[in-house]
Amino acid sequence: MSERVGERTELIEKVIKVNRVAKVVKGGRRFSFNALVVVGDGKGRVGYGLGKANEVTEAVRKGIDRATKNMKPVVIEGRTIPYGVVGRFGASRLVMKPGEEGRGVVAAGPVRAVFECAGVHDISAKRLGSSNPHNLIKAALDGLYQLKTFEEVALGRGIPVERLRAAQGA
């Protein structure tokens, strides 16, 4: 249990969006909040969570807890992803391409936060379709979770890893 507590302090936590929701009741309006949060270790594990509560701080805390539980590993080759991929969720599409060394993260808003939390430093991403932050985060994670290592792909195709890497670099 103590390892998990120590591990949690190293996590990168990014609050993407805080939304206020009003419920009309007899005496007036009741406000509650939801917070969309992305959490990662910067070493290839990332997850997201949505927390709902009557206070912003409590909603953020719940979002962080859910995101930490939902963390999954993603494949990273050096500082970038091994190959281009398209993530899809709802009406959002996200085209992700590996970036050259030192290029940086070329992506906006919620997608940038996902890449920073995952530990991807050089990548280019373009949003197609809906710009809803919830859908964009899920599309980014869908694309990242689809990625496989060169070894896994080469084994599935029955070819040497060197041949696959050479073809990818061309």
**Bridging pattern class, strands 123-129 and 12-25:** unpaired
Instruction: Of 28-42, 56-70, 75-89, 148-162, give the lowest mean pLDDT range.
Output: 148-162
Q: Which CATH class is domain 2-72?
A: alpha beta
Contact 98, 80 (CB under 8 A): yes
Tens-place pLDDT, residues 56-86: 999 999 999 999 999 999 999 889 999 899 9
**What is the pTM assigned to this prediction?**
0.87
Which amino acid is located at 119 in the chain?
G
* Band of pLDDT at residue 20, cut at 50, 70 and 90: very high
CA 73 to chain centre: 10
Give the CATH class of 74-169: alpha beta
Residues listed for the chain: 170
Taking alpha carbons only, the member of 12, 9, 56 closest to residue 34 is 56
- Residue 9 banded pLDDT, cuts 50, 70, 90: low
Binned at pLDDT 50, 70 and 90, residue 1 comes out as very low
Dihedrals φ, ψ of 11, to 5°? -75, 145
pLDDT number for residue 170: 52
pLDDT given at position 46: 95
Q: Do the beta carbons of residue 61 and residue 35 sit within 8 Å? A: no
Residues of the chain with CATH 3.30.230.10: 74-169
Q: How far apart are the C-alpha atoms of 28 and 113, rounded to whole Å? A: 37
Token digits of residue 113: 């936060």
On the CB side of 24, CA atoms within 13 Å amount to: 0
Q: How many CB atoms lie within 10 A of CB 128?
A: 13
